[in-house]
Structure 1
Amino acid sequence: MTTCRLCGSASMAGVVDLGATPPCERFLTRDQLDEPEVTYPLHLRVCTECWLAQIPPLITPEDTFTEYAYFSSYSQSWVDHARRFVEGAVDRAELDENSFVVEVASNDGYLLQHVVSRSMRCLGIEPSVNVGQAARDKGVPTLTAFLGPETGAEVRAEHGPANLVVANNVYAHIPDVVGFTHGLRALVADDGWVSIEVQHLLTLIQKVQYDTIYHEHFQYYTVESARRALAVGGLSVVDVELLPTHGGSIRLWARPFEVAGEPSARMVDVLAREKAAGLHELSGYTAFAAEVDRVRLDLLRFLTDAAANGKTVVGYGAPGKGNTLLNHCGIRPDLLAYTVDRNPYKHGRYTPGTRIPILPPEQIALDRPDYVLVLPWNLREELTEQLSYVDEWGGRLVFPIPRLEIVEVAS
């Protein structure tokens, strides 16, 4: 990558190089195990002009999202998070039965189902055919498309402007950040609201959440870099909420320039925190690579010691972040016999690159392993409760990030 995709600057500094891995959601079938896999470099850089952290667009959204393996509704805590968001957004944006709500990257209707239940008009814009069909099956109107200026204008012409546009965990997934932002502006009413949730680069750096770096995440935002990105489309960030989701996220509230007004006190506070952490200059990024090496070595030491002592270790979950971690650490079935996942789509498949079998969750109780390595660590509270039964045979949970932690659970 020679230039920044947001501002065009050639001043790009390396943050961490994770080598080359396959795309994290490209799970393998048994028939593909004897076939080669294409890998792509995974090197995070930051623009020293606008401070947008980014990786090169080596794969296209069409490669990843035409058929997608991630269904949001398999996490009950995420569905509950969406319900609480809708409740709050109704008050903030003064929504009623005459309002129109659009969600971009609406997945399987996990959020808009709560809008439908309030008898408000809504539309999901979801590029994945299989996931979008799941939303339609539950009564959520869904358009199969990627958002850009043209799509935004077409939706506005057909349905009218949206009082609220939601873009949760998608602003990192689009390489054409400028075109996507113009699409958001095309959708939203001139006095409307845009809400964006995205992982916060501040927590990614401070808590060494490097496994959230993967090829479908093209950029990584601070509030400052998100503010600059949204401004190119005529949107101004007026408020920000700090959320615990995905290990630490930000919810940005933006409005068209003409009605935005002054930023909130908590937005000013978060900008000050970022600046104090050095993320508005290069100093905040220089120690990250060494922390990543520490996480890798600690996890490998644990797994090799367990193998040497005859202990069994299996995984829980097959998320995208887990595949970054497994590939960077070089973990294979000799160290992690298998992993399990609640999503039936992944059952009988294998993790990309590392080729670890993915089985139904019930396999853990059958095999009674000594340790369960939790790969979706961001769902720690939910999964600790779900996996409390491993205490029946003295099993323990292992969380790899931000520091390796072995946890006893009470059933």
Structure 2
Amino acid sequence: MASIQIVAPGGMADASARLSACRSCGSADLVMVLDLGRQPIANALVDPADKDGEQPLFPLELMVCRACSLCQVSETIPPGTLFGGDYPYFSSFIPALLDHSRAHAEALIAERKLGPADLVVEVASNDGYLLQAFRGSGARVLGIDPAKGPARDAIARRVPTLNAFFNADLARELTAHGHHASVMLANNVLAHVESINDFVEGFSILLAHDGIAEFEFPYVRELIDRCAFDTIYHEHVFYYSLRALEPIFERHGLHMNDALPLDIHGGSLRLRVSRQPGRSLRLARLMAEERTRGLDTLAAFEDFGTRVAAVRDGLRAMLHDIVAAGGTIAAYGAAAKGATLLNYADLPRGTIRYVVDRNTHKVGKLMPGVMLPIRAVDALADDPVTHLLILPWNFADEIVQQQQAFADGGGTFLVAIPFPQALPA
């Protein structure tokens, strides 16, 4: 692959800008549908040496554009602040995600008959967890990711990776060096990009004439149905319906052709786009269902805030009763969604004793805002508790299976989403 000189993204001052117009269509007709208060950046884990320092807090509000139905957060935080520093999310620590990604790669290799003449590009490639599954096909791969740590790990795995933000300018530079992608992938990044039109334009530029691009992202239908408000944080700028996505792709000469509902991450969609139209029956049915359910209107959000408050109040009551009865509580998974949940819940100090996580990059840090210590999973044996609150509830089955010794010792697993409850033993 030809040499391309990319300057790695650096840190930026903590600053934000209040949304005054829709990031997609430019309309100023925005309505707030949920206010989660002022919150820290969910993935900005705190070094214990800095625990007495001031943490920047930003409004965390959900807005809906009346003109194009796009659901989005109210505050724009510079991407260098969110992703350019010590970003702690490493996909390879999640076995279920690895299995999901391997199956996706194998299906694409078979369907597209990928080989040495093909280039597979993944945007937001993290630590190379997905692209490494394409090695057996012989296809060339290229990852693009702005986070230094994950990009460094990907390169160590021999996955060629540019440590950069993807946009139209980078796509033009790649095509100028003769690169055209047969397949482009972007999993769990479409919702993260504030400059969405520039981002999608980059796919239009880099995609080969007969190529396909596939995007996986949390589906706003699942956000509403599961009351999954903990998936709202500043990194997740957008919460997409198909109706809101269609004009974004059309603006840049791309056609939505298929959409597959997925269970991963608590309810996602895998959307396929290309330069040629060819809408599947499955996509047509999903878009018809959105219209029937009113996902292109404010009506879908009418009682959302009330349901969110009920989850918070129910969690407070459940944990209070456990502590009052002499129980002790830890949390599992220092996930971003856990930061949103715990900061919004505003629990009394000491309710949760610590958080455990398998990701060695997180162990030893503190959860932002609530400042709970993050410990290795061994802490559950060394400093036992009676109850374990699973913060990444979307991986609850896997976590329960991993921690069977906790249950065998009489421990009880808890989740807060879609409502606070103890899981069956």
Specify the code of the residue in structure 1 equivalent to 2:100: H
Q: Matched residues in 1 for 2:132 and 2:217: separation? A: 21
Q: Matched residues in 1 for 2:166 and 2:75: separation? A: 17
Residues 165-314 of structure 1: matches in 2 within 5 Å?
165-256=184-275, 259-261=276-278, 263-314=279-330
8 Å CA contact 1:241, 1:252 repeated in 2: yes
Q: Matched residues in 1 for 2:408 and 2:30: separation? A: 52
1:389 to 395, 400, 405: 405
> 1:156: Cα distance to partner?
2.1
Matched, 1:316 2:337: no
Q: Which runs of 5+ in 1 are unaligned?
A: none
- Moved beyond 6 Å, runs of 4+: none
> 1:408: Cα distance to partner?
3.8
8 Å CA contact 2:334, 2:367 repeated in 1: yes
8 Å CA contact 1:391, 1:408 repeated in 2: no
Q: Give the superposed CA RMSD.
A: 1.2
8 Å CA contact 1:4, 1:12 repeated in 2: yes
Q: Matched residues in 1 for 2:104 and 2:353: separation? A: 38
Q: Matched residues in 2 for 1:84 and 1:332: separation? A: 43
Specify the code of the residue in structure 1 equivalent to 2:53: E
Specify the code of the residue in structure 1 equivalent to 2:277: A
Query: 3-state SS of the aligned residue for 1:172?
Result: coil
Specify the code of the residue in structure 2 equivalent to 1:275: R
> 1:407: Cα distance to partner?
1.8
Residues 44-63 of structure 1: matches in 2 within 5 Å?
44-63=62-81
Q: Matched residues in 2 for 1:276 and 1:20: separation? A: 34
CA deviations over 1:93-143 (Å, ceiling 9, x no partner):
332232110000000000000112322101000111111010010110001
1:101 to 104, 117, 120: 120
Q: Matched residues in 2 for 1:142 and 1:365: separation? A: 39
Q: Matched residues in 1 for 2:396 and 2:299: separation? A: 31
Q: How many residues align?
A: 406
8 Å CA contact 2:109, 2:137 repeated in 1: no
> 1:63: Cα distance to partner?
0.6
8 Å CA contact 1:116, 1:140 repeated in 2: no
TM-score normalised to the size of structure 1?
0.97
Specify the code of the residue in structure 2 equivalent to 1:131: P
> 1:159: Cα distance to partner?
4.5
Aligned to 1:8: 26
> 1:60: Cα distance to partner?
1.3
Q: Matched residues in 2 for 1:378 and 1:338: separation? A: 20
Query: 3-state SS of the aligned residue for 1:345?
Result: coil
Q: Matched residues in 1 for 2:76 and 2:157: separation? A: 34
8 Å CA contact 2:60, 2:75 repeated in 1: no
Aligned to 1:32: 50
